[in-house]
Structure formats: structure tokens, C-alpha cells
A and B are shown apart, each in its own frame.
Chain A
Amino acid sequence: MTLNQQFCEMNLSDGKGSMSSVSSVVSSAGWRAADVVADNQFPAGLRVLVVDDDTTCLLVLEKTLRACQYEVTKCNRAEIALSLLREKKNGYDIVLSDVHMPDMDGFKLLEHIGLEMDLPVIMMSVDAGKDVVMKGVTHGACDYLIKPVRIEALKNIWQHVVRKRKNEWKDLEQSGSIEDGDRPQKQAEDADYSSSVNEGNWRNSKKRKDEEEEVEERDDSSTLKKPRVVWSVELHQQFVAAVNQLGIDKAVPKKILELMNVPGLTRENVASHLQKYRLYLRRLSGVSQHQPNLSNSYINPHEATFGPMASLNGLDYQTLSVTAQLPAQSLATLQAAGFGRSNTNPGVSMPLVDQRNLFSFENPKLRFGDGQQQQMSSNKQMNLLHGIPTTMETKQLANLHHSAQSFGTMNMQVNAHGGQRSQSNSFLMQMGQPQSRGQILSETSGEKVLRLPSTMEQPILSSGLAGGVLSRNGIGQNGRAAGYPPVSQTSATLNLPINHAAEFPSNSFPIRSTPGICNLTSKGAFQEEDNSDIKGSAGFIPSYDIFTDLQQHKTHGWELQNVGLTFDPSQLSNSRQTNIDATSLVLDSQGFSSSQSGRNGNASVVNKSLYSAGVGTQLVNAENVGQRLNNLHVDNSIRVKAERVPDPSCPTTLFPEQFGQEDLMSALLRQQQGSMGPAENEFDFDGYSMDNIPV
């Protein structure tokens, strides 16, 4: 299968607006290889979207762009621009946006676009101040033009498109195309990449993806063209899980790719996504340092819970929530918890708004500023999945984070986290993390798949519950789940109303939702929304789903349908991995919180709440997610977590899934160690009772 195909497969999402996980937007949105540089006509026909609230400027720009022979679409509101972009994914090659706009800040729009669509964005302003330009840089703009924009300047904007494609292509190549299943990992451009894609994982996701095939063959000849991967919530969660598993510092695209095991995803995709993620994390932490900051923060449960997030305050939450897709409520709680704030607002749906953006790291952040409440509209849930377990309780987040951080040690962490899963965040975290967790777990166990407890039949609603809640169907069984840091699948599981933590039943974790769960390719289910992007991703989704659900509703209760964790039986069949994934997802979310606390504690915490069966539902954060978690049968105890937002142990894990994942992972790993099976259960996320996780 060509890469495109693989990508297509990966896109599970229903394709609606949601960012399909690896949608191979191949053909670079209309750019055929032929059009690319190779073509004489290039850059004629470049599809430009220009956004400016000033009609005069807009008209002049439009005309100027037309004079460059570009295909121009203009709009004067950022919201319209976003919807245009979402409607027609791959419908545009580049976006030009004004900085100062009344309805939405240009930088925010920039973030959205970067995360959701990964298009090059050029900022414009009559303002040439260094600060503003710098802001453009940090937000990821590929250029900044001073108004009045001259035609000469516009004549060259195509270079950004080409450059991006080229890089993506290269990544793709490098990561060993999915098609091959395993292209020998290439020549690592980046030295770190080593991995070998995990075929097995891909298979899972592939199945899911099969339905959506968007094939657009990428033109090999065109180095510029490469299928554009859409980072759905699910996918993102998987990604975050993987990153957490590996540890943010050690996360190299190759390994992440392997962990994610998403067919059709190339190392390059992962690499560029990682870059963004890092940027995002950096922003979250308010410093431009590298991510480690985040981890640090996570580790402090409660305090800012999100460590870096804390700095963001509010913003982070949103981000997290977004990423984690924690149910607004959960997010709110998580945030509150995480930030030490009093619940901010349960309803806050953490800026799920950006959920859609997988990486809405930035957005969420911004969102926070707006008041966490940004209810992230379901669409936005996706962002949450990004692993930013916003709802995850801080603790959990911390845990998760922690776990994420030390991916290597995740296993441990998972256990450690068990205690904290501050759920809601954990969820979020989990969401992101679960994936990593799952991966880690699987890795540890040798199975890539998170072996979420076999009991995961139920799709673990990734909503946050993912962490612990991952209703691993059998989660209850494992008590081990405790080991899982409340994997708050926050991202996915969070969708599940954390309150429903109880829902996360050990058994019925609708793991699905946890996108984080790596293997849980529950992604399919996820998709409700864009966040489902992850759906495609194998198993990731569950956690994201949760978040998505948050907004979307979809998986109410822990049904995170697509949430990575969806431990659908089918998925389970995929392998226990799914379970594990779910677990990890769950753990992640939970883990987030736990990560902070170092883990077992969190896990158990989370687990407890989550796992009714005594499994520590790490879903602590699930509380927030609670709603969704209902389905998850998470133990009420777990659910409690969801409710209790301010889970001390779990810092509102806004932390990106990383954290949760770690916890999850550790939990998972622990479980796995115990026995693959049981481990799965544990991870069923019924409640990530981390402590229970019998490793």
C-alpha cells in the first residue's frame, strides 16, 4: 500500500471535519507532485487563504495574490477561516493571516491551524515591532510580513509550502513508510530514530483505517508532496502516550512511531508533530525551554500541577483540557485541581475548544487565558487528546507526566502513579499518555499493544477514564491497575465524564474512548470529532475520545468510543494490546496525576476511584470526565476522582498526556509484569487503580 493508502487507513475518522488521524492528505491538498516545483507552472495555482478583518487590506491582498497567479480565497473573520479550512482539508496550501483581528487573535488562529491542519501560516501586520514578530515565531508562523504587503513579498510565499512538504516527505521517507510496514528505519536523519515500526500496531489501526481511505497517492516523485497527516485527537493521544512513555526528553520520532504503531504514519509525520508538541509544551511552561520543564511540573502534584502548565495557568488548563479532551467538566475540575484552583468550573470544558487541534497546545493555552472555560467545544476536544490531560487532576498529571517523562521508568511510574491520578487531568494526560503507556507497556511486555486488561471489552471511553478508567473490562481484575497512574486517558478518557469514574468499570471500559490506548484502536469510535483523528491511530483514540466526547458527547460515559481505549472486544482481539493500550491510556490519564506523585500513589489513587473493582481507577480525573466515565463502570471510587477535581495527588493534569501515560505505562507495565492478562485488566482502566496493578 502506498503511503497514502496507509494514511488513509489511518484516518479513521469519519472524515468529517475531524482530523483523521493520519489522513493522508496526500497530494498535499491538491498539489500534485507535478505541481510542485517540478512543474513549470508552480507556484501558480497555489491555494491561498487570506484572513484579514480590514476589508480594504483584504481586497488589496486578494488582488495582489491573484496577480501572483495564486488561487485566492479571502475571508474577514478567523472563525470563518477555520471553518473553511476544516471543511476542505487539503483545500489550501498556505494561509495568510492578519495579527490583529477582533474576533480572534491572529496567533490563536495560527495555533489552530498549525495543530489541526499543519499548514504553513504567514502572519501580517502593519505593526513591525520586534515583540510581535517574535510572537509570530514562537507560535509557529513560517513568516511575518509587514503591511502594506508588496507583491514581491507575496511572490515568494510558495517557498514555505514547498519547504514544508519537503520536510514532511523526508520524514515520511525516513520513518519507513507504513506501507512497508516497516520500512527499515531509516537512516535516521535524526540520529535518534531507531525504531522499527511496529507492524502489529499498525494492523490495528489499519483495520480501522480501512474504512477511510483517502487515498491520495502521494507522489513519490515529488518530494514536496506528501500526504498530510491529520492529527486527530486520537492520533494525538497516541502520540502523547508514546512520548510520555519514552519520556519527553528521549522521545524520538522513530520510537514514538513505533510505539504509536499507526499504520501509514511516517516518522516524518511524527517528527514534525513532535516538534510542534515540543513547542507547545514549551509554551505551556511559559519558557522556551525544552520540555523537561513540563515534566518537572508534573511532578509536582498539586502545585501548579502542571508544572509548566501551572505557569500557564488557566491557559494550560485549557490546553490540557483540550488535549485531553476531558470533558469540560473534568477539565474544569482538573484544572482546578491541577492549578490548585478551586474548581474552575466544572463546566469548563477546558478549552477543549481546541480539542480539535491535536496540538492545541498553544491554543489551549491561549484559551486559558480566556478563561478556562473555554468550553472546548466538542470539536475542540481533540486537542485535549493531545495528551494534555487537562482535566487530569494535577496529580495525575503529574504522575502521568512523570511517567511520561521518564518513559523508561514509566513502568514504574505507572505503579507509582497509581496513586494519583488526579484525574481529570489524568485523563487528559492519559489520553496522550495512554498511548505512550500502552506502548510502553506493550513494549515491556513485549507487546506493543497496551494490553489493556482483557476485560477491556468495553471500549474504554477514553475520556479521561482512559487512564484508569479504561474500563478495561477486566480492569477490575487487576487491581493492578492501580499501578496505572490514573491514566487519565484524560485525553480520551476524559471524555468520559470523570464523574462517571465509576463507570469505568473495570469491565467495561469503553476503552474506546481512550485514544491514548495505543492499541486500542478504538479510534474508530472516537471520531466523533475531529479529535478522532486519533481514531485512526491505533488504539490511541480512546483517550481522546474521552475528550472528544467531552465535547462531543460522543462517548458519554466512558464510551469513548473512539477513544483509543475503546477496548472493544474487537480491539481486544487485536491483542491484548488494546487492553494495554487502554490501560495505558487510562493510566496515562491517571498517570498524569500519578506521575506527579510519583506514581504508584497516584495510580492507586486513580485506580481506586476508577476501578470499582478495586482497581484504582486512576481515572481520578475521570471525575471530570466522569460523565463519560459512566459507562466505564469505573468504580465509583474512581469516579470520585472525577468529581473531585482537585485531586491533590493529581495535578490537574493538564499535563499532556505524557504524564498520564507514564503512569499508565508504569501501571501497565506493572501489570504486565504480573501477567499480561491481568495487566490488561488493570489497564482496563476501569479505574486505574494503579496500586492495584499487580505488576
Chain B
Amino acid sequence: MRPVSEKGAKEKATMDAVAQLQRQLVDYTASLFHEGYLDDQFNQLRQLQDESNPDFVVEVVTLYFEDSERLLNELTKALQQQSIDFKKVDAQVHQFKGSSSSIGAQRVQKVCIAFRNCCEEQNIEGCNIFLQQVKHEYTLVKSKLETLFKLDQQILAARVDPGSHVIRFLQA
């Protein structure tokens, strides 16, 4: 990002910054798709966003984060039990798979599939491995999405108040 050096050319800088941010956003998003973190379902979500619901994507994804964290905690607990209830674990993984698929978190979804297989086989070790993996993937996609949102917000902010936000951002 081109650092804004002259305060005087704030406007231009702002515009440039905004443009840059936008480019960044586009590139970043593209990379997420490319790397498989997100799939087309995410695009659907974006398409669903409109004036009547301008924060839809953020809303849904935030909800997903909340649900997922809770679910992952439960999963962890369930697998720590003396006698593991595989059916329950499987149901939870299934649910996690469902919600991940609804926002387009592709890699998470894929790990869930493998995770479920272990549940069916009642493979404790396998389950634990996949639990770790799913947590990992989840964390990854979470941070990436958060970055994405931030970028988005910055662009919005830049448009609204080009001076302050953009500059602050750029300076960050």
C-alpha cells in the first residue's frame, strides 16, 4: 500500500487509498477462493446482501463464528469423556459441517467429512486428530474472513470519511 506521505494531497491519497483497498479486497478474496478457504456459497451470501440488509454477510458469518466456537468446545469436551458418545460427536460434526457449508467455509467442511468417518469407525485417535485439524481450519478461515471484513469496512469508511479512517488505516 502506498503510504500516504503528503497530507495535502489527502483527497487524492484518499481516493488512491480507497482504490487500493478495493483492489486489495478483490485480490484477497480471490486468493481465499483460490486456496479453497471459501467456495461459491460465500459468493451467494454476498449476492444476498442488499440495501435492505447491508450487513448480511457480516451478520451471518459472525453468527457462524459464535455457533462454531460453541460447537467446537462441545466437541472437545465430548471427546475428552471417558466413554465417548460417538453418535453425539457425529451429530455435532454433522452440524458443524452444515453451518460451514452454508457460509462457504470449504476447507472446514472437508475436514468435517473426514472427521465424521472417524466417528463412524469409532476411531478415537482419528477423531482427536481431526478435531485438531478442524479447529485449525476454522481458526484460519475465521482470521481470513475477519481480515476481509476489515478491508471492507475500511473501504466503506474511506468513502464516508476519507480523511480520518483511511489515513489512519494507511498509517497503521
Chain A contacts to B: CB under 8 angstroms: 53-57, 59-61, 63-64, 67, 98, 100, 102, 125-127, 147-151
Say whether, besides A54-B98, A59-B60, A60-B103, A148 and B48 are in contact (CB < 8 Å): no
Further contacts, 6 of them, CB under 8 A, given A60-B102, A60-B103: A55-B63, A60-B48, A67-B48, A98-B98, A126-B94, A150-B44
Of the candidates B48, B91, B94, B99, which one forms a contact with A56 in the assembled complex, judged by CB atoms under 8 Å apart?
A: B99
CA distance A56 to B48 in the complex (A): 14
Whether B53 contacts A56 by the Cβ 8 Å rule is no
Whether A151 contacts B98 by the Cβ 8 Å rule is no
Chain B contacts to A: CB under 8 angstroms: 41, 44-45, 47-48, 53, 56, 59-60, 63-64, 67, 91, 94-95, 97-99, 101-104, 109
Say whether, besides A55-B67, A56-B64, A64-B44, A126 and B91 are in contact (CB < 8 Å): no
Q: List 25 A-B contacts (CB under 8 A).
A: A54-B98, A55-B99, A56-B67, A56-B103, A57-B98, A59-B59, A59-B60, A60-B103, A61-B102, A98-B98, A100-B94, A100-B95, A100-B98, A102-B91, A125-B98, A126-B97, A126-B98, A126-B101, A126-B109, A127-B94, A147-B98, A147-B102, A148-B44, A148-B104, A150-B44
Which residues of A have CB within 8 Å of B45? Answer: 60
Which residues of B have CB within 8 Å of A54? Answer: 67, 95, 98-99, 102
Closest to A60 in B: B102
CA distance A63 to B45 in the complex (A): 9
Whether B56 contacts A56 by the Cβ 8 Å rule is no
Closest to B99 in A: A56
Closest to B64 in A: A56
Which residues of B have CB within 8 Å of A59? Answer: 59-60, 63
Whether B101 contacts A147 by the Cβ 8 Å rule is yes
Which residues of A have CB within 8 Å of B97? Answer: 126
Which residues of B have CB within 8 Å of A61? Answer: 102
Whether A56 contacts B60 by the Cβ 8 Å rule is yes
Which residues of A have CB within 8 Å of B91? Answer: 100, 102
Whether B48 contacts A64 by the Cβ 8 Å rule is yes
For residue A218, give the distance in angstroms from its CB to the closest CB of chain B.
35
For residue B53, give the distance in angstroms from its CB to the closest CB of chain A.
7
For residue A308, give the distance in angstroms from its CB to the closest CB of chain B.
29
Whether B102 contacts A57 by the Cβ 8 Å rule is yes
Which residues of B have CB within 8 Å of A100? Answer: 91, 94-95, 98
Say whether, besides A55-B67, A56-B60, A63 and B98 are in contact (CB < 8 Å): no
Say whether, besides A126-B98, A147-B101, A147-B102, A56 and B63 are in contact (CB < 8 Å): yes
CA distance A51 to B27 in the complex (A): 37
Say whether, besides A59-B60, A63-B56, A53 and B95 are in contact (CB < 8 Å): yes
Counting from the closest, the 8 A-B pairs by CB-CB distance are A56-B99, A126-B98, A148-B41, A57-B102, A148-B101, A56-B64, A60-B102, A148-B102
Which residues of A have CB within 8 Å of B95? Answer: 53-54, 100
Whether B98 contacts A60 by the Cβ 8 Å rule is no
CA distance A56 to B95 in the complex (A): 10
Closest to A59 in B: B60
For residue A219, give the distance in angstroms from its CB to the closest CB of chain B.
32
Closest to B101 in A: A148
For residue A450, give the distance in angstroms from its CB to the closest CB of chain B.
49
CA distance A469 to B158 in the complex (A): 82
Closest to B71 in A: A54
Tell which of A98, A125, A147 has the most Cβ of chain B within 10 Å.
A147
Closest to B53 in A: A63
CA distance A507 to B5 in the complex (A): 103
CA distance A127 to B90 in the complex (A): 12
Which residues of A have CB within 8 Å of B44? Answer: 64, 148, 150-151
CA distance A100 to B90 in the complex (A): 11
Whether B56 contacts A57 by the Cβ 8 Å rule is no
Closest to B103 in A: A56
CA distance A681 to B102 in the complex (A): 64
Closest to A98 in B: B98
CA distance A100 to B67 in the complex (A): 16
CA distance A125 to B101 in the complex (A): 10
Tell which of A54, A67, A100 has the most Cβ of chain B within 10 Å.
A54
Tell which of A55, A125, A148, A151 has the most Cβ of chain B within 10 Å.
A148
For residue A379, give the distance in angstroms from its CB to the closest CB of chain B.
28
Which residues of B have CB within 8 Å of A148? Answer: 41, 44, 101-102, 104
CA distance A150 to B97 in the complex (A): 16
CA distance A625 to B86 in the complex (A): 41
Closest to B39 in A: A148
CA distance A57 to B101 in the complex (A): 8
For residue A126, give the distance in angstroms from its CB to the closest CB of chain B.
4
Which residues of A have CB within 8 Å of B67? Answer: 54-56
Which residues of A have CB within 8 Å of B59? Answer: 59
CA distance A98 to B101 in the complex (A): 14
Whether A57 contacts B99 by the Cβ 8 Å rule is yes
For residue B141, give the distance in angstroms from its CB to the closest CB of chain A.
13
Tell which of B48, B56, B98, B109 has the most Cβ of chain A within 10 Å.
B98
For residue B116, give the distance in angstroms from its CB to the closest CB of chain A.
9
Which residues of A have CB within 8 Å of B103? Answer: 56, 60
Closest to A124 in B: B98
Which residues of B have CB within 8 Å of A53? Answer: 95
For residue A98, give the distance in angstroms from its CB to the closest CB of chain B.
8
Which residues of B have CB within 8 Å of A98? Answer: 98
CA distance A486 to B117 in the complex (A): 52
For residue B52, give the distance in angstroms from its CB to the closest CB of chain A.
9
For residue B150, give the distance in angstroms from its CB to the closest CB of chain A.
21
For residue A369, give the distance in angstroms from its CB to the closest CB of chain B.
15
For residue B108, give the distance in angstroms from its CB to the closest CB of chain A.
12
Closest to A52 in B: B98
CA distance A36 to B47 in the complex (A): 28
Closest to A150 in B: B44
Which residues of B have CB within 8 Å of A67? Answer: 48
CA distance A678 to B98 in the complex (A): 64
Tell which of A55, A56, A60, A64 has the most Cβ of chain B within 10 Å.
A56
CA distance A148 to B102 in the complex (A): 5
Which residues of A have CB within 8 Å of B94? Answer: 100, 126-127
Which residues of B have CB within 8 Å of A60? Answer: 45, 48, 60, 102-103
CA distance A60 to B44 in the complex (A): 10
Which residues of A have CB within 8 Å of B109? Answer: 126
For residue A370, give the distance in angstroms from its CB to the closest CB of chain B.
16
